[in-house]
Amino acid sequence: MKTLQGAPENSTASAYGIVAAKAALESCAATERAAGKLSQDPKLPENLRATYGSCVDMYGLARTGVTAMGDALKTCSTPGLLRGFADANAAVNDCLQVEWLVDDGGVASPLHSMVLADRDRITLACFLGALIPGSDD
């Protein structure tokens, strides 16, 4: 619920969706920055740094998708919302599926919880946007 605290009291579903999309965008940007720092960490093995770097690339796609979701919410475009969600969710899930997020010993990467939270925020924005009546194009 903390994600939605920025919306005015008694807001419409679209307003909550826009607030959720903005929170998802900010969260994705923070995860992308963290992955970027890890990709430059000379203490980490080169293959791990490269993997973090690929997550940075995936998060560029995620941010583009979330931005499209926010734009679609502002115009009540369900198809645009769903396309943005599919793109953002696929990029975040690609990052989540990379085996470095949990190593052989079951220890999670520093990004694991951030990526899971991003996926939840993106999903919340989409679900709220889907509540907008009459938004079919």
Taken in order 117, 120, 86, 133, is the CA torsion positive or negative?
Answer: negative
Q: What is the mean pLDDT of residues 18-44?
A: 92
What is the token pair recorded at 106? 């079951």
Residue type at position 4: L
The pLDDT tens digits for 85-101 are 999 999 998 888 775 55
What is the token pair recorded at 37? 């720092």
pLDDT confidence of residue 120: 93
| pLDDT at 118 exceeding the cut of 70 | yes
pTM of the model: 0.82
pLDDT confidence of residue 3: 54
Work out the mean pLDDT of the chain and round it to a whole number: 81
Q: Which domains does the chain have, with CATH numbers?
A: 12-130 (1.20.140.40)
Paired residues of 108 in beta bridges: 102
Nearest to 90 by CA among 128, 70, 51, 64: 64
Nearest to 126 by CA among 38, 20, 32, 44: 20
The pLDDT tens digits for 62-73 are 999 999 998 988
Taken in order 3, 9, 72, 70, is the CA torsion positive or negative?
Answer: negative
